[in-house]
Homo-oligomer: A and B are copies of this chain.
């Protein structure tokens, strides 16, 4: 089959997207690590818990929301539990399952970390764009996720298309 190579316009857009995808995680990690002693993954997991009902999620659900494998989440949860930021307890309804629940300490940590994180997001992303571009990014994100995450697992807590 003949390859449909990228046109110059497509290639230009692609090169920039790759650069952003490569650089953004580092920028996020660096600020959170520096200011709050959390990796972006840890912050994200805690933030998901903080917005969940009863600040509690099943390990499997949290793994999907944070795009992690279950083994990875298990290791991370063990570290966070050792730091007192969450607790794991067996689920009453299904005794195979484990519920991860944010402690008061963990909640306090999220509250402490959030302002700096939001400021960082503004600096690197939101405030670098015009209002129109923010809306375009919203649409583009939906289009890309329809191919990358057709089941909407990562964006589960946020209704799509809004």
Q: Mark A58-73, 1 if CB is under 8 A from B, else 0.
A: 0000000001000000
Does A139 make an interface contact (CB < 8 A)? Answer: yes
Number of interface residues of A (CB under 8 A): 58
Shortest distance between the CB of A40 and any CB in chain B (Å): 9
Majority secondary structure of chain A interface residues (helix, strand, loop or mixed): helix
Does A12 make an interface contact (CB < 8 A)? Answer: yes
Q: What residues make up the interface of A, taking CB atoms closer than 8 Å to B?
A: 3-6, 8-10, 12-27, 44, 67, 114-115, 118-119, 121-126, 128-129, 133-149, 154-155, 158, 162
Q: Which of B136, B149, B162 contacts A136 (CB 8 A)?
A: B136
Task: Using known A-B contacts A23-B67, A125-B147, A154-B23, determine if residue A137 contacts B3 with beta carbons closer than 8 Å.
Answer: no
